[in-house]
Amino acid sequence: MNRLAQIAILSFGWRRVLLLIVFGAIASLSMPSLFVLPALFVSLPIWVWCLDGAEQRKGLKRLFGPAFVIGFSFGLGYFLGALHWLGAAFFVDGGWLLVVMPFAIFALAAVLAIFWGFASVLAHYFWSDSFLRIFAFALSLSLFEFIRGYIFSGFPFDLLGYSLTANDNMAQITSVVGIYGLTGIAVFIGAMLALVWPKDGRSLIGRLMPVFIIISVILGQIAYGQYRLKTTKIIERSDIKLRLVQPNIKQSQKWQAGSSDFIMTRLLDLSVSKSSPLDAGINGITYLIWPEAAIPFYLSERPEYVSKISKILPMGKFLVTGAPRKESFSQNLSQSYNSILMFNSDGEIIASYDKTHLVPFGEYLPFENIFNRFGIKQFVTGVDGWNAGTSRRLMGVNGALNFLPLICYEVIFSGRLGDEIKGADFILNLTNDGWFDNSIGLEQSFHHARIRAIEEGRSLVRVANTGITALVDPVGVVRAKLDAQTIGVLDVAPPRPLKKTIFSQYRNYPFFLVLFLGFLMLILQKIRLKKKKYF
């Protein structure tokens, strides 16, 4: 490591860029579902050492100088490694999209790496020879990770904090600090090994102090998790039972002409299936739940299926399903929504929710007129583009049960599930995920969603098309699960929500306070050093 530290400090030009891309890719191994945590401790010090050897620039040249290139290069390698699975979506339609795929994934990684480039610039502005440079590094990167999760609609996939959530014990800390706070902790301890090398005049104990701090933080995190899991009282409920249906419809079949009958037959058959003669089946449940876009057509155009739905639903039972919804304003003017619909046993739609946070290029095409000239279209075929819903709302029946409906990646936005979460008995996440079959994206998306249950202290009911369908309790323990690419049903009863978690009470305000006090300390330190320099 001492030799590696010297190489990183003295590197420059393309050699430094290549070194950082490689170690950025290594850092991505710490993400779900691999969770190779040592990769974080091996890679982040490289970034720190490269900043140690980077020359300072002044004025506007600082913005895109060596510090920016260092952070951008590391980020490029990281996001290429962490998000490579998004390329699976290009194989669904195939054709010319396969040619575009590597360029699209590279472009996405490069855009996200810009945030890390500016984080590197900010950290380098407060750089020093002391241990405070690790604080500057952690504060700057966690700040820009937060910005990445919000700006331009936000894309908070694979925040570095997820590296410290590999098991139930470790993940409990998110109930206190949230995933953004944990990101700051992950960066801080991940970069601390940079203080061990290169060798200098410090004593061995002095050089090993960062190792003791890292071990203490991780052991403390695990100890807190064990304590919370043992002492948190989970209240079960027997007044409701949900049947979760995972049909495992291939994405290539989803919007094909002629597939509707096959898809609906599978959904209806699974809904009324029994595991044994003693199984009450659909008569023993209160809610039947199908995944996102389970119905691949407008029900207004196929009313016979409304009749079939009402026939399988016993009196007093309800179906909650993902389906496209069209709202017509005139003969030539209408809007389409990616929606969740709730049916009663008479086949009436008694509640609905329209997805508010759409996926760029997936569910709508930004700058549509420009991209259409090059033959570029949105990924979700079979519709003319979705419109965003206006607001979040709870769904339920007569106040007896209220759940917060979230579609697909709406669930990954920590602290941004809406004020309605306070009145929710559980979180319902309907997703398709068929775009990413045979990739780690299925496990990764599920893990991101599972952390929301811990943060909010509410059960997560996740219903997927091809996987992963599961019930997660309010402390993040997976109670029941259907693996990816399997056909089946789960009959589950989500436990009651916890009274409150620290994160659900205060959200990210403690995180903001730490950022404010941290940067204030760095500013004062910089002022002190300037005065010392002149006097």
377 is known as an active-site residue: no
Of the candidates 145, 355, 410, 456, the residue annotated as catalytic is: 355
End-to-end CA distance of the chain: 38
In the block, which residue shows the tokens 């590279």? 106
Give the strand pairing for 318-328 and 402-407: unpaired
Average pLDDT over residues 102-123: 95
Write the pLDDT tens digit of every residue in 128-181.
888 999 999 999 999 999 999 999 888 999 999 999 999 999 999 999 999 999
- Sign of the four-CA dihedral 248, 254, 260, 261: negative
3-state secondary structure 379-410: CCCCCCCCCCCCCCCCEECCCCCEEEEEEHHH
Q: How far apart are CA 163 and CA 145, in angstroms?
A: 14
pLDDT at 46 (0 to 100): 96
- Judge if the upstream peptide bond of residue 468 is cis by omega within 30 degrees of 0: yes
Q: Is the pTM of this model over 0.75?
A: yes
Q: What is the pLDDT of residues 45-93, one digit of tens each?
A: 999 999 998 887 776 667 778 999 999 999 999 999 999 998 887 777 6
Across all residues in the chain, what is the average pLDDT? 89
Q: Is 327 a catalytic residue?
A: no
The catalytic residue among 50, 145, 254, 408 is: 408
Active site residue 355: yes
Q: How far is CA 494 from CA 175, 227, 236, 501, in A?
A: 19, 22, 7, 18
Q: Which CATH number fits domain 242-497: 3.90.1560.10, 3.40.250.10, 3.90.1410.10, 3.60.110.10?
A: 3.60.110.10
Q: Round to whole Å and give the CA distance between 293 and 461.
A: 16
Ranges of CATH 3.60.110.10 domains, the chain: 242-497
Dump pLDDT digits (tens) for 229-282. Answer: 999 999 999 899 999 999 999 887 877 777 889 999 999 999 999 988 888 899
pLDDT of residue 376: 52
Tokens representing residue 50 in the block? 């490269």
Specify the DSSP class assigned to residue 384.
S
